[in-house]
Amino acid sequence: MKKQIPNAITLLNLLCGCIAVIFAVNGNFVTAALFVFLGIFFDFFDGLAARKLNVQSELGLQLDSLADVVTSGVVPGVVMYKLLELTTGIYDFSTSTTGWNTEIVWNGLKHSVLPLIGFAITLASAYRLAKFNIDDEQQSYFKGLPTPANALFIVSLPLIIEFQNSDAINAIILNKWFLIVVTVLSCYMLNSNIKLFALKFKDFSFKNNATRYIFIILCLVLLIVLQFASIPVIILLYISMSVIDNLTLNKTL
């Protein structure tokens, strides 16, 4: 029975992802983001529970990735799809469209091509998770941006629109070229070879975890000051600090 506790937590992650998909499809980004946050919370604690109970298993590893495909892959793909949909005027079928906005008709359903680009995030996330499962090197660090971090970045975009009340920022986020660039960079970072530090503490000494402690403190400050707008900044900070950490380590070797 004990060995099923981490798997049960993982399934809660998957359940949160399924619920988030429903809300994202219906354009309720705030509730979708809430369930993504909750799913990522469960994703963190299933591994912790497995280590503390000493019940790590191949089944748990595979189940964890399957859950992440939904919560941290499908949901951000749907969110990007919906954001791109908002830039196309897809709901106005009275005008003809060309280029990216070209409509395709299938089984009586009209649809714009552009929003489908958002699902590249889902495909890149699934590919990244599959690579992670067969990579024995990623024990103390990540190679490429972890899918939960990428999911947080994507779902934060509609939250910024909803809560930051900045017309200038909204105009940037709802620009189709900005969203396309974000999608491309997201797919690249998910599967890049850049080494990013993991928030796993082998001990709690500052000497061995300086980067982690500094990162956590900066995250708290940014969250207080920038609120939801801090999430993309935190992800960029995470990448930047990892690169600096790698350069520092290489110089000492």
Residue 77 and residue 57: Cα distance in Å, rounded? 29
Question: Percent of the chain scored above 70 by pLDDT?
Answer: 86
User: What's residue 234's pLDDT?
Assistant: 95
User: What's residue 112's pLDDT?
Assistant: 79
Out of 136-140, 224-228, 239-243, pick the least confident: 136-140
The per-residue pLDDT for range 107-163, each reduced to its tens digit, is 556 667 899 999 999 999 999 999 988 887 766 688 899 999 999 999 999 999 999
Q: Is the pLDDT of residue 190 over 90?
A: yes
Out of 54-63, 90-99, 121-130, 208-217, pick the least confident: 90-99
User: What's residue 153's pLDDT?
Assistant: 97
Residue 214 and residue 237: Cα distance in Å, rounded? 11
Residue 121 and residue 188: Cα distance in Å, rounded? 10
Q: Is the pLDDT of residue 253 over 70?
A: no
Four-CA torsion 179, 185, 191, 193, nearest 10 degrees: -170
Q: Is the pLDDT of residue 98 over 60?
A: no
Tell me which of 108 and 76 has the higher pLDDT.
Answer: 76
Q: Looking at the structure, give the CATH architecture of the domain made up of residues 2-193.
A: Up-down Bundle (1.20)
pTM comes to 0.87
Out of 17-26, 137-146, 207-216, pick the least confident: 137-146
Residue 83 and residue 219: Cα distance in Å, rounded? 26
Orientation angle between helical segments 210-226 and 230-252, nearest 10 degrees: 160
Taking residue 80's Cβ as centre, other Cβ atoms within 10 Å add up to 27
Taking residue 71's Cβ as centre, other Cβ atoms within 10 Å add up to 30
User: What's residue 55's pLDDT?
Assistant: 77
User: What's residue 186's pLDDT?
Assistant: 97
